[in-house]
Chain A
Amino acid sequence: MTLLLLFLLASLDGALCGFRTCMGRCPLIRKKGHYTIGVLRGVLAAQVVSGFSLICLLIVAAFARDPQLLRGDLEKSAVRMLFVFIPYTVLVLGNIALRVIPSTDIRSATSVFFLGPLTGIRPFVMIIGVLAGIWRAQLHETVFLGLFVLALMLSVEYVLNFYCSRLQQRQIRSLI
């Protein structure tokens, strides 16, 4: 259950990364399609990361001396991570929900005062969350898996940004 929750959070994070990385790269006015593709790209990237993580987990579990102990240790670590990730997610989703209010000032304020800074601290939240998870881990395997997943998740936005940037530059070169 805990791992499933982490998977869902990773997918949501991927979706938001996908959305962010395609912002400012399409100058049309009506661009739902552009954003939809961006979000789907982000979700797909999160699935790839989750898939790699699962493969790595299975390999580590296959070679573990005590698979039951590893499973318990991973579960406890994941719970500790959720203590960091869930409040952050609630803050992000809460601010996105506030944008339903039809006020240009409230919508702009959520962007400037909350969503912007929350985006800025995202890498630190991820690092703190994973460190909180593996800090009291009993097994080296748990620490390794935590750091491996952290590296993968941090690379998602970088890779998506790189991809979208290449796409944008190709488009601009075709214009000029």
Chain B
Amino acid sequence: MQPEISDLVVQHDPKTLIRLPVNKSEIAGIFERFENKKALRVIERIPAKDGLLDSIAVDRLMLTVHWEMQRLAEEFYHGRRVLQIVRATIEALHSNGLKGPIRIVDVGCGIGYTIRWLAARSALPQEGVELTGVDLNSTLINEANRLAAAEALPCRFFHGDAFSADLRGHMYISTGVLHHFRGDDLVAFLRRHNSETTQAFVHYDFQPWALAPFGSWFFHVIRMRTALARHDGVLSTARAHNADALVSAAQTAVPELASGIYGAKIWNTPAPRVFHALVGFRPELVPHLKQTLGRKMGELQ
């Protein structure tokens, strides 16, 4: 499976999170092997110094792409969709006796659209819910914090590991992150939810189905302007995991949580939504959640 350009042009040391220099011809070689001319054209346009990608140019490009990608979330009313399940989960946590502040962590939050939307458009912060976002990319985190400050939003963003002791939360959410993990890495990522603090996770990603690649291509051609966003957006749909693969990985990784798929079908018809979510909950939360969310919640195992 081909990688996305954005996964290659920004690289970090997995332990120290320090940004690593990226060799232009090396990543071009990866796409040459796939005969992917579109990706090669994108990489060709990124300036380089001594064979290494110019990090400032890359950061500017990534920021342009993330500003543009926010449009996708806006058009899909993603904030509202996340709020519905987050609110139901918080109610379930309270009804099960959890007292004190609840921390929500958006894993791989980018410029933090979902968290900022929740902070701006919901009463969650006033109800004692701490809204946070974590990403490995410090440029995106700086931007998320700048945007939150510009609108005086009650949320915070951190550069680091979302599952580390100082950043961990009660509920993990993400959007478009799962398909970046291939093979065993998906199980390894989900295994990191294994913590006493973790009460739930809701990971949204593209839902693969027959027309998804065509639909995604069309949407990106019409709506997206940067070549990188178009390329990676379409590829993301092709790389997306199906429901069985996601649930099976979750069951292997975090068997103590009841996992399943949320919001896969429109109004319980066979028509699929663009996004579905892999969800996991402490078993004691499930009855309350089923009552609140009804048929939107699929079978939890």
A residues at B contact (CB < 8 Å) = 23-30, 104-105, 107-108, 111-112, 116-117, 119-120, 161, 165, 168-169, 172-173, 175-176
A-B contacts besides A29-B120, A173-B60, 11 pairs, CB < 8 Å: A23-B71, A25-B67, A25-B68, A27-B143, A29-B151, A108-B75, A108-B77, A119-B222, A168-B67, A172-B63, A176-B139
Instruction: Kindly identify which residue among B56, B81, B113, B121 contacts A27, using a CB–CB cutoff of 8 Å.
Output: B113
- Distance in Å: Cβ of A92 to nearest Cβ of chain B: 14
By secondary structure, the B interface counts as helix
Interfacial chain B residues near A161, Cβ < 8 Å: 225
Q: Check B67–A30 contact: CB distance below 8 A.
A: no
Instruction: Kindly identify which residue among B70, B71, B225 contacts A165, using a CB–CB cutoff of 8 Å.
Output: B225
Interfacial chain A residues near B121, Cβ < 8 Å: 29
| Stretch of B8-16, B196-204, B266-274 at the chain-chain interface | B266-274
Question: Given that A23-B71, A27-B70, A27-B113 are contacting pairs, would A176 and B151 also be in contact in the complex, using a CB cutoff of 8 Å?
Answer: no
Q: How many residues of B contact A (CB 8 A)?
A: 42
Interfacial chain A residues near B59, Cβ < 8 Å: 176
Whether a CB of chain A sits under 8 angstroms from the CB of B295 is: no
Interfacial chain B residues near A173, Cβ < 8 Å: 60
Query: Can you list 8 A-B pairs with a CB-CB distance of less than 8 A?
Result: A23-B71, A24-B67, A29-B120, A29-B151, A112-B215, A112-B219, A112-B274, A169-B64
Interfacial chain B residues near A25, Cβ < 8 Å: 67-68
Interfacial chain A residues near B117, Cβ < 8 Å: 29
Interfacial chain B residues near A29, Cβ < 8 Å: 113, 116-117, 119-121, 147, 151, 153
Instruction: Kindly identify which residue among B69, B146, B215, B223 contacts A175, using a CB–CB cutoff of 8 Å.
Output: B146
Interfacial chain A residues near B34, Cβ < 8 Å: none
Q: Check A175–B63 contact: CB distance below 8 A.
A: yes
